[in-house]
């Protein structure tokens, strides 16, 4: 399917969310039912009322899987994908990096945003939603798309997927590279499939999310032999990809977006004080 293009950064994007949260009205009817139960003095009314209203606070508080699965629409865009990312020591030779967000894609299904083989590989965990953003470095010579796949899996499912990626070295397969997001009117406008240079795919186990990132040259040059980020970051790696630090770009941005997501989920699951 054709890629969905968003718009370059505008001030309004600093406060938007990836998707509006639909208002939920069911609690009103359920709350009225709970009041009736309490009115007739049933001992179990309070418990029944909580169940009818869908009050899952006791169940979801401290549950990172429940909170994490809905984070794509409950966490602001600027928290999931900050406008600026700081990468102290994230470049080759522990040099510092700064990345600027170019645009955020509309949230989508995984079928819209992933190549078919990667989609098949992730089928075991299901796909709740895919969100992506594209960044450029301070020199505007490199571009990177980072994505978060919010899955339907439980902890066992994510652990199984992680074991598959580790055991079968799926993260190094070129046919499982993430797809780029190339917003028009930005330095990443020519960042297509043929420009993918280095990538990382990381299934998490503490929350139901797969973190993806793929980097390339901002000038749109085609790349004949992409390298997974660990190879491009290896000591002594001498390819153009390695020398340009594109492995560090993909890994550095993915790591920082992942850390931000973990913090956001931790905030959602904090026990009330």
pLDDT of residue 27: 38
Read off the tokens for 133: 């953003």
Choice among 48-52, 83-87, 123-127, 249-253 with the minimum mean pLDDT: 48-52
Which contacts qualify for 190-195: CB closer than 8 Å, 24 or more apart? 190/219, 190/220, 191/134, 191/143, 191/145, 191/216, 191/218, 191/220, 192/220, 194/222, 194/223, 195/220, 195/221, 195/222, 195/223
**pTM recorded for the entire structure:** 0.79
pLDDT of residue 71: 95
Tokens 């984070």 map to which residue?
71
> For the residues 103-119, what does the mean pLDDT come to?
94
Could you tell me which residues are beta bridge partners of residue 143? 136, 216
pLDDT band at 30 (very low <50, low <70, confident <90, very high): very low
Read off the tokens for 216: 């390339």
**Mean pLDDT score of the chain:** 82
Separation of alpha carbons 269 and 189, rounded Å: 38
pLDDT tens for 41-89 read: 333 333 323 222 233 333 445 689 999 999 999 999 999 999 999 988 7
Separation of alpha carbons 56 and 67, rounded Å: 11
Percent of the chain past pLDDT 70, that is, above it, reads 76
Alpha-carbon dihedral 216, 147, 21, 207, rounded to 10 degrees: -160
Tokens 């028009």 map to which residue?
184
- The C-alpha angle 70, 213, 182, rounded to 5 degrees, equals 95
> For the residues 204-209, what does the mean pLDDT come to?
97
Tokens 């470095």 map to which residue?
137
Separation of alpha carbons 229 and 201, rounded Å: 9
Neighbour order of strands in the sheet with 142-150: 84-87, 97-104, 129-137, 142-150, 209-217, 198-203, 227-228
| Residue 85 main-chain phi, psi, to 5 deg | -115, 135
CB 125, CB 155: distance < 8 Å: no
Does 95 or 52 have the greater pLDDT score?
Answer: 95
Q: Write the CB contacts of 76 (distance below 8 Å, at least 6 apart in sequence).
A: 15, 16, 17
> For the residues 186-193, what does the mean pLDDT come to?
97
């Amino acid at each position: 399917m054709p890629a969905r293009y968003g718009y370059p950064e505008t001030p309004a994007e600093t406060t938007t969310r990836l998707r509006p949260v639909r208002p939920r009205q069911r609690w009103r009817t359920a709350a009225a039912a709970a009041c009736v139960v309490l009115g007739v003095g049933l001992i179990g009314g309070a418990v029944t009322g909580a169940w009818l209203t869908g009050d899952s606070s006791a169940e979801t508080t401290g549950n990172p899987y429940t909170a994490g699965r809905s984070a794509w629409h409950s966490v602001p865009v600027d928290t999931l994908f900050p406008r600026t990312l700081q990468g102290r020591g994230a470049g080759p030779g522990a040099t510092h990096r700064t990345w600027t967000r170019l645009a955020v894609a509309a949230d989508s299904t995984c079928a819209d945003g992933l190549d078919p083989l990667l989609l098949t590989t992730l089928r075991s965990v299901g796909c709740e939603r895919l969100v992506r953003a594209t960044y450029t470095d301070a020199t505007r010579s490199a571009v990177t798309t980072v994505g978060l796949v919010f899955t339907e899996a439980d902890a066992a499912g994510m652990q199984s997927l992680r074991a598959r990626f580790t055991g079968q070295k799926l993260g190094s397969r070129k046919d499982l590279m993430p797809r780029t997001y190339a917003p028009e009117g930005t330095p990443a406008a020519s960042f297509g499939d043929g420009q993918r240079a280095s990538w990382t795919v990381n299934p998490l186990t503490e929350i139901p999310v797969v973190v993806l990132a793929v980097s390339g040259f901002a000038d749109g040059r085609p790349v004949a032999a992409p390298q997974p980020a660990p190879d491009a970051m290896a000591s002594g790696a001498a390819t153009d990809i390695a020398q340009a630090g594109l492995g560090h770009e993909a890994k550095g941005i993915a790591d920082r977006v992942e850390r931000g997501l973990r913090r956001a989920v931790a905030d959602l699951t904090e026990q009330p004080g």
